[in-house]
C-alpha cells in the first residue's frame, strides 16, 4: 500500500498533535502531582501542629489543676490561721487579699502584745535577779 505525501503529512501532523497533547497532559499531571504533594505536606504539618497544640493544652490543663489544688490548700491554711488568730468572723466575706492583710495586721498586733508582755516579765525579773546576784558575790 502506497501512502501519498498528503496522507503522510496528515498522519505525521496528527501524531505530532497527539504527542503535543500528551506532553501537555503530562505537564499538567506533573503540576497536579506537585500540588498534591505540597498540599499533603501542609496537611501533615497542620496535623502535627494540632497534635502539638493538644499536648500543650493538656500540659496547661494539668498545670492549672495543680495551681487550683495549691490554691485550695493555701486557702484552707489561711482559714485555719484566721481562726487561730481570731480573725475569722469579719473576714469571712472579704476577698483573699484583704483577708491576708487582716491576718498580717493581727499577727503584728499579737507580736506587739507578746513583746510588751515579755518586756514586763524581764523588768519584773531583773530586780530579783540583781538582788540574788549581789548576795552571791558576798
In angstroms, the CA 80 to CA 73 distance is 11
Judge whether 31 lies within some domain. Answer: yes
Cβ atoms of 82 and 89 within 8 Å: the answer is: no
Judge whether 101 lies within some domain. Answer: yes
Residue with the larger pLDDT of the pair 24 and 45: 45
Q: Residue 30 above 80 pLDDT? A: yes
Condensed to tens digits (0 to 9), the pLDDT of residues 71-122 reads 999 989 988 888 888 886 555 667 778 888 888 999 999 999 999 998 888 8
Q: Which domain range does residue 54 map to?
A: 10-119
Cβ atoms of 91 and 98 within 8 Å: the answer is: yes
Judge whether 106 lies within some domain. Answer: yes
Residue with the larger pLDDT of the pair 39 and 18: 39
Which whole number is the average pLDDT over 126-134? 58
Helix (H, G, I), strand (E, B) or coil at 92: coil
When divided into structural domains, the chain yields a total of 1
Condensed to tens digits (0 to 9), the pLDDT of residues 32-76 reads 999 999 999 999 999 999 999 999 999 999 999 999 999 999 989
Judge whether 126 lies within some domain. Answer: no
Judge whether 133 lies within some domain. Answer: no
Cβ atoms of 113 and 91 within 8 Å: the answer is: no
Amino acid at each position: 500500500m502506497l501512502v501519498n505525501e498528503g496522507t503522510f503529512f496528515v498522519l505525521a501532523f496528527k501524531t505530532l498533535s497527539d504527542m503535543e497533547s500528551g506532553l501537555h497532559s503530562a505537564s499538567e499531571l506533573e503540576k497536579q502531582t506537585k500540588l498534591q504533594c505540597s498540599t499533603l505536606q501542609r496537611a501533615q504539618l497542620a496535623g502535627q501542629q494540632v497534635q502539638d497544640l493538644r499536648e500543650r493544652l493538656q500540659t496547661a490543663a494539668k498545670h492549672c489543676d495543680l495551681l487550683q489544688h495549691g490554691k485550695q490548700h493555701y486557702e484552707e491554711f489561711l482559714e485555719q490561721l484566721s481562726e487561730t488568730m481570731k480573725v475569722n468572723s469579719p473576714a469571712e466575706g472579704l476577698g483573699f487579699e484583704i483577708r491576708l492583710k487582716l491576718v498580717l495586721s493581727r499577727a503584728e498586733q499579737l507580736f506587739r502584745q507578746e513583746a510588751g508582755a515579755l518586756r514586763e516579765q524581764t523588768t519584773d525579773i531583773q530586780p530579783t535577779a540583781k538582788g540574788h546576784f549581789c548576795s552571791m558575790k558576798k
